[in-house]
Structure 1
Amino acid sequence: MASMNDKDYYALLGVEKDASQDQIRKAFQTRARKLHPDVNKEPDAEERFKEVSEAYAVLSDPDKRKRYDAMRSGSPFGGYGAPTSPQGYGSDPFGGASPFGWGPFGGGFGGAASRRRSRSYNPRAGTDVAYELTVDAAAAAKGVRRGVTYQRYGTCEVCHGSGSVEAEHSETCPTCGGSGRITVDTGLFGVMAMTCPECEGTGRVVADPCRACGGSGRTLTASEVVVDVPAGSHDGDEVRVAGMGNAGTNGSSAGDFVCRVCVPEERLERTQASGFNLIGFAVPFAVLGLLTSTLSSMTFIVGVPLVVGLYLALRGGIRHQGRWWRNAGIAVLNGASNGLALAVFLVLMLSCTSGLGRGGYGGYGLY
């Protein structure tokens, strides 16, 4: 087998030496489709496929590309110093992720609708779609029904979510034999293990990928849902609509549409929440000062947070909604917990310091 120094990886991919990463990726995708052993039955197709995979493995990695260019020019490291790749030569250079980005045959799982994907069979449950619905306090108290239009991944209407138009079942990946990994001998860089570019590591592929969804079983679409906000709702409450989230891949279950209710009259502004936090922070120190008769010495640590906190909390105006006061109380408690932790720490530090001082004086008294 020819050494890496004898191979022109740029020529193997048909790109110029100053080609961008995107041009290299597209060139590899084009050649991989033509030379794939499952498509090309020529005797040397498999060997040529390995060569272009090796070329892409090196040129797609900026560090390896620099070292390869330097080696071709005659300098061991081309002025870049010793190799700095954190993985080293003998480990997976791609950190366990697919080295082919969106795959040699197109887009990847979860990408934009315009991107094509490989024909990997990868069933995954769909994620929830979160939406914030703003209503006033009166509507939240009485209950309200709202129609919402949003974008989500819906079940493909052509293949009905399976990802395959005709075949009922997936098949073992012909490239990796079901292992989900392939190895490429790059010569100087050693044998590198990679995620299989065809199945993207799953070991299974869709037999005949649907052209509408690329084999994922879902497409980006606009959907509508009617949300019933029940009477007596408050800021932060959630209303779920089952099955109206993102569709799963290859026939897996869909997530939910999660509507979070926002009632501005009950919501603390960010500065107000910070103000109530400061007020709560000062409370433990005020109590500590009263219990130890040292409040006068704690004027700064109590007075400054209290004054600044009151200013921030009241600057936006006081609202008379019960939930607003509840949120304010929660913010005060959060601040008080932080202040209490610091107060206990200071008390323990002072106790240890005074104990060491007494022990020291006693020790000197022995002499």
Structure 2
Amino acid sequence: MASMNDKDYYAILGVEKDASTEEIRKAFQTKARKLHPDVNKAPDAEERFKEVSEAYAVLSDPDKRKRYDAMRSGSPFGGYGAPSNGGGGYSDPFGGSPFGWGPFGSGFGGAASRRRSRAYNPRAGADVVYELTLDAETAQKGARRGVTYQRYVSCDACHGSGSVEAEHSETCPTCGGSGHITVDTGLFGVMMMTCPECEGTGRVVADPCQACGGTGRTLSASEVVVDVPAGTHDGDEVRVSGMGNAGTNGSTTGDFVCRVCVPEERLTRSQASGFNFIGFALPFLVLGLFTSTLSSLVFIIVAPIVLGLYLVLRDGVRKSGRWWRNAGVAVANGASNAFMIALVFVLMFSCTSGLGRVGYMGAPYLW
């Protein structure tokens, strides 16, 4: 067997050295369709198929790919020496299934290339979040706004299932439904990896829709009318059910979420930091007064308050009640972050003062 440095896994798969994981996976599937021993009867077909599987096993794993690249570049820290002979037998990652009913369709040629099985992975669609800016007066009165946006919608051709003709998904013939395949790389020993055909789900779309590629959804422009109720404040949300992204393979659709932004009620980033600083000083002030150690904590108290006031006043104080409520929340957050620090600091100072009066063994000093 050739040594690790003698094998160009990128050339074996026919991809560039900066190829993405998805490009590597597709290249592996293309090569595997042509070289699988159950279909290709050439004398060297099995050996070449093992070589392709070995290349995919290494390049599809980020850590092993980095190590391989380092070894190819001559780095002395790239690996752990030459690979073993790998004589422990070969585990067919395709489970011995003929390609006539396998994951790549029936036979080879034009029809087969168009009927590549895809992973069947129903996942709920994500919400679409849209931020709508209103002035304080409009937010108090309420408003109606039309929004045009892009989202994933259910595929019209397959009605969201991902398959044009088949009603149900089928067990992945590549991994037998386990979601993993075993490959004897020779270089790194026997490896178990995520099945590249079903992407770990164990199920595949039997007849992938050409319009959506088997996912059951396509990208489209949509419109929605949002009714913002009267009395809305900064950060409030208006939710329109079922107008978010469609799920994959017929799963549920998310919502359209309109998040209202009222600048007059919102703290700037500097103001939020300023109120955090002011809140940070409060536990030291309270504990200093309670333990009579205020004089030793003056700097820790005064510096954050002065800096905080500067940051707050620099961007202007607002009259909105919601603005002051947000300011109170920022102060509370700063105080909660500093409370335990202040408590530990005061306790340590008290203990140090006590040791100065009575000594380490409890006996008073004579001076």
TM-score (norm 2): 0.77
Distance apart, 1:34 and its partner CA = 3.7
Partner residue, 1:177: 176
Residues 318 and 209 of structure 1: CA distance in aligned 2, closer, same or farther (over 3 Å): same
Residues 192 and 143 of structure 1: CA distance in aligned 2, closer, same or farther (over 3 Å): same
Distance apart, 1:333 and its partner CA = 1.8
1:277, 1:309 within 8 Å by CA — same for their partners in 2?
yes
Partner residue, 1:268: 267
Distance apart, 1:264 and its partner CA = 0.3
> Quick one: distance in 2 between partners of 1:329 and 1:322?
11
AA in 1 matched with 2:122: P
Distance apart, 1:32 and its partner CA = 3.2
AA in 2 matched with 1:336: A
Partner residue, 1:333: 332
Sequence identity of aligned pairs in percent?
Answer: 70
Residues 132 and 84 of structure 1: CA distance in aligned 2, closer, same or farther (over 3 Å): farther
AA in 2 matched with 1:152: R
Q: Deviations over 1:28-86 (max 9, x none)?
A: 3432344468xx8444677754442223333552423554x58xxxxxxx45236279x
- Segments of 5+ residues of structure 2 without an aligned counterpart are 87-102, 105-114
AA in 2 matched with 1:338: N
Distance apart, 1:239 and its partner CA = 1.2
Residues 225 and 32 of structure 1: CA distance in aligned 2, closer, same or farther (over 3 Å): farther
> Quick one: distance in 2 between partners of 1:5 and 1:146?
66
SS of the residue corresponding to residue 19 of structure 2 reads helix
- Aligned residues between the structures: 324
Distance apart, 1:223 and its partner CA = 1.6
Partner residue, 1:30: 30
AA in 2 matched with 1:265: E
2:270, 2:312 within 8 Å by CA — same for their partners in 1?
yes
SS of the residue corresponding to residue 187 of structure 1 reads coil
1:175, 1:196 within 8 Å by CA — same for their partners in 2?
yes
Distance apart, 1:284 and its partner CA = 2.9
AA in 2 matched with 1:64: Y
Distance apart, 1:302 and its partner CA = 2.1
- For 1:140-155, list aligned pairs within 5 A: 140-155=139-154
Distance apart, 1:182 and its partner CA = 1.0
SS of the residue corresponding to residue 198 of structure 1 reads coil
Residues 212 and 220 of structure 1: CA distance in aligned 2, closer, same or farther (over 3 Å): same
> Quick one: distance in 1 between partners of 2:362 and 2:285?
34
2:277, 2:307 within 8 Å by CA — same for their partners in 1?
yes
Two-structure CA RMSD over aligned residues (Å): 3.3
Residues 184 and 66 of structure 1: CA distance in aligned 2, closer, same or farther (over 3 Å): farther
> Quick one: distance in 1 between partners of 2:11 and 2:339?
67
Residues 153 and 297 of structure 1: CA distance in aligned 2, closer, same or farther (over 3 Å): same
Distance apart, 1:149 and its partner CA = 1.5
Instruction: Select between 343-352 and 252-261 the one with higher mean Cα deviation.
Output: 343-352
> Quick one: distance in 1 between partners of 2:186 and 2:137?
72
Distance apart, 1:167 and its partner CA = 0.2
Q: Determine whether 1:362 maps to 2:358.
A: no
Q: Determine whether 1:323 maps to 2:315.
A: no
SS of the residue corresponding to residue 227 of structure 1 reads strand
Q: 1:80 aligns with which of 76, 83, 88?
A: 76
Instruction: Select between 332-341 and 196-205 the one with higher mean Cα deviation.
Output: 332-341
Residues 151 and 36 of structure 1: CA distance in aligned 2, closer, same or farther (over 3 Å): farther
Distance apart, 1:121 and its partner CA = 0.8
> Quick one: distance in 2 between partners of 1:10 and 1:361?
71
Q: Determine whether 1:64 maps to 2:68.
A: yes
Distance apart, 1:278 and its partner CA = 1.8
Residues 343 and 42 of structure 1: CA distance in aligned 2, closer, same or farther (over 3 Å): closer
Distance apart, 1:353 and its partner CA = 3.0
> Quick one: distance in 2 between partners of 1:42 and 1:33?
9
> Quick one: distance in 2 between partners of 1:21 and 1:30?
19
Distance apart, 1:318 and its partner CA = 1.6
Residues 34 and 154 of structure 1: CA distance in aligned 2, closer, same or farther (over 3 Å): farther
> Quick one: distance in 1 between partners of 2:232 and 2:301?
37
- For 1:168-207, list aligned pairs within 5 A: 168-207=167-206
Distance apart, 1:9 and its partner CA = 5.5
- For 1:101-112, list aligned pairs within 5 A: none
Residues 347 and 299 of structure 1: CA distance in aligned 2, closer, same or farther (over 3 Å): closer
Q: Deviations over 1:316-344 (max 9, x none)?
A: 11211110111111112222223433221
2:117, 2:207 within 8 Å by CA — same for their partners in 1?
no
> Quick one: distance in 2 between partners of 1:149 and 1:204?
36
- Segments of 5+ residues of structure 1 without an aligned counterpart are 71-77, 91-103, 106-115
AA in 1 matched with 2:312: A
Partner residue, 2:233: 234
